[in-house]
Amino acid sequence: MVTPRKPTAPTTEAVDRFCAQFDDLFGRLAERTALRQYLMGLLLPREHNKTLTVLAALVPGGERQWLHHFVHDAPWDSAALNRRRLALWQADPTLAPHGEGVLIVDETGDRKRGHGIVLAAQQYIGKLGHTANGVVSVTSHWADGRQHIPLGVRPYRPARRLPGGKADPAFRTKPELAWELIEEARAAGIPFRVVVADCVYGENAKLEARLCAAGLRYVLALRPNRGTWQVVQDPAQPPAFTPAEAARRVPLSHWQRLVRRDSHGKELVRYVAELELGVAYGPDQPVRLIAATQDPATLQPDATWYMATNLPLAEASPAEVYELYCLRDWIEHYYKPAKHELGWADFQMRAERAIVRHWQLVMLAFTFCLLAGRPPDPTTLSGLRAERPGGKIGPPARVAGHAPPGAALAMPLGAPAPVLAELVHSASTARTRCTLGARRSLPTAAHPNLTNQR
């Protein structure tokens, strides 16, 4: 006879109900308890960096040593946790993915001191804009212009930290990691219309070939000076060699004016055009080249974008291709709460497995916010999906933008008022606490649904 699992001590009803769906992935009571404590610590208002010491001090009953063991040594599978998380999202009647969304791949980096962390090395950190000692990861994301959710993450192992350098079997380039994430999303049955990525991936021939061989549509960015081979028949009138040169040869009358809104409702005016670049890109070629700019007369480099796509002209006009590419911006709406509120980069573990587990738990916390803030009416999103993704986004449909003043939590905008009210109240209560010292329980004035004090 199988011994029944020991129940965990009650925390908050919403967290207990959510974590109960993952309990079978954790064989020990201490692991199931640590999952709840870690999740609550990530969700609480951010007053300090969310290190293990801080999480243990904030959450009632938290023990730093137990939390460290949970992320560093405990025998649970972070990949299985991520698959279960995505399955819950896919099963949700109002937030489930659909075929009009896009799969975004991107990389993000965070500065770290020292060399004790196995993933830390001198490398380019995007948010700094220069090379620094830090940790970089490649992430995948699903978005449709109104909702978005993280799908997966892969750590980037710098070649200089591997014994064999770039020849080491453990070394993977960022495009190779991106392909692993794309395959992982497909294996999970997540539908999407196209893969969207910046020029780090758009200019990788191997990744592009893999996408074509798999029959996947894509919209990938290119640098304006990305060169192509051309046959010069008349030296006096050489052909265009780069996307920027091809854009300058497009007559002003051929640029299509496009008015759209960003995720904050701000109106943006852009001009898009189909480009021809030798035999490599063209409206009748297997791969098309699209340009979008704020001013077609000047084509300022910092306000002009070039995109390669294998979407046929019959399936997507240049304006539609640009709209699909603009959905890539939604991954920034994930990075902002994940880093500023949920503590994506606040880990102090050195082992790769512990760091990846921390990232997976941050994605779990974000998904909890999304599912806890689901629209109350299942028809809310079904009516929105009938529209073309990337169109004008009204205020009620924006998801996971700026949190309400004083909340300091990564809650989706448009969530039911009772959910937001409870979390905003608990966040403002937590801010009244004194500075962090020795570990103590939350004050009795805290909201009863966020503590086990009754």
pLDDT in tens, 401-440: 343 344 344 444 334 444 434 433 443 444 444 344 444 4
In tens, the pLDDT along 102-128 reads 999 999 999 998 888 999 999 988 888
- For 257-314, write each residue's pLDDT tens digit: 999 887 678 889 999 999 999 888 999 999 999 999 999 999 999 999 999 999 999 9
* Contact between 294 and 304 (Cβ < 8 Å): yes
- Cβ neighbors of 128 (< 8 A, separation 6 or more) are 109, 111, 134
- At residue 113, φ and ψ (nearest 5 deg) are -90, 150
CB-CB contact of 46 with 343 (8 Å)? yes
Report which DSSP code applies to 227: -
Q: What is the largest CA-CA distance in the chain?
A: 87
E strand spans, 76-174: 102-111, 121-125, 130-143, 148-155
List for the chain the helix, strand, coil content (%; round to 5): 40, 15, 45
Residue 374's pLDDT is what? 67
Distance CA 341, CA 360 (A): 15
> In the chain, what are the domains?
1-76+442-454 (no CATH), 83-226+238-332 (3.90.350.10)
Dump pLDDT digits (tens) for 334-369. 999 999 999 999 998 899 999 999 999 999 999 999
Q: What's the pLDDT score for residue 417?
A: 41
What is the tens place of the pLDDT at every residue in 32-72? 999 999 999 999 887 778 899 888 888 888 899 999 999 99
* Spatial contact of 211 and 195, defined as CB atoms under 8 Å apart: yes
Helix (H, G, I), strand (E, B) or coil at 292: strand
